[in-house]
Structure 1
């Protein structure tokens, strides 16, 4: 499928964009949806609490770029671990196994998928937050905005594709 440029400009200020609790942990603020970009990309901000980690996974049809805005993560890409702080960048090319863990008290990053073909996975593995930040939690939309539910994440991956879950988080537990 060939990506086509969006015919309409997308302008969203800080804090604007639909906010959703991701069942893998974290609050996503959707900055540009795939439908708005003609499928070219998906961009969301991810605000996460310390200790959040992802399972080892890959995206078979999209490159995932993570730009760290605040905090620090430990990222495991293609078998090696790297500490990435604010201003740092990680690009996991399509098909490359990767995972990350938030090692600071909290972290905030921009997550860009090119093309935006895995949007259905994230959408189905999340739920909208109310104006007060509740999907069952805190108004600031950080830790506790909702329950972590990896069963829901796995089911969304099965139903929608866009991600291949390869195994548990590859990080040593304290």
Structure 2
């Protein structure tokens, strides 16, 4: 049974993410009874995950601010501020931020992939270990059904 979930910004977990960006966890499987995960990335120019596919969930993202290139099944597209992309499971995809900075809202359904984000990133409320860097880890990704196909594009 789903219930109302409300979290003010100060209650939302913020993870250090790739290339010095952040991922704010807005909703996770615990809050949505496993139905979806929603997060907001704040990233800089050049941020790009490895080319990958999801085995378990579909992904939707909206570029709230900025511009990006998006690859879906080896086709390249430009995404402008306010643009939305639907990425079905089992289809290879990736993106690269082309503006100086960007805000990206992401929704994965069903939930579960947030475990990979939490294992890969670092909760910014915790002390930062010396020399810590967020790096994609194909073994962690694979545990959550996120298959790395190749390097970022």
Question: TM-score, normalising length from structure 2?
Answer: 0.88
Paired position in structure 1 for 2:111 = 116
Residue 152 of structure 2 is aligned to residue 156 of structure 1: no
Distance across 1 between alignment mates of 2:93 and 2:82: 20
Aligned to 1:128: 123
Q: Distance in 1 between the 2:9 and 2:122 partners?
A: 21
**Residues 160-169 or 16-25, more deviating:** 16-25
Unaligned runs of 5+ in 2: none
Instruction: Name segments (4+ residues, structure 1) moved above 3 Å.
Output: 12-16
The one of 137, 144, 167 aligned to 2:150:
167
Say whether residues 1:73 and 2:68 are aligned partners. Answer: yes
In terms of fraction of residues, the more strand-rich structure is: 2
Give the Å deviation of 1:115. 0.3
RMSD (Å), alpha carbons: 2.2
TM-score, normalising length from structure 1? 0.78
Q: Is the 8 A contact 2:120 2:134 kept in 1?
A: no
Q: Deviations over 1:18-73 (max 9, x none)?
A: 10113575311111111110100000001111011111100011001011110011
| Aligned equivalents of 1:74, 1:135: Cα separation in 2 | 31
Which of 72, 84, 96 pairs up with 1:101?
Answer: 96
> 1:154 Cα shift?
2.0
The CA distance in 1 between the partners of 2:16 and 2:52, in whole Å, is 20
CA distance in structure 2 between the aligned counterparts of 1:114 and 1:28, rounded to whole angstroms: 17
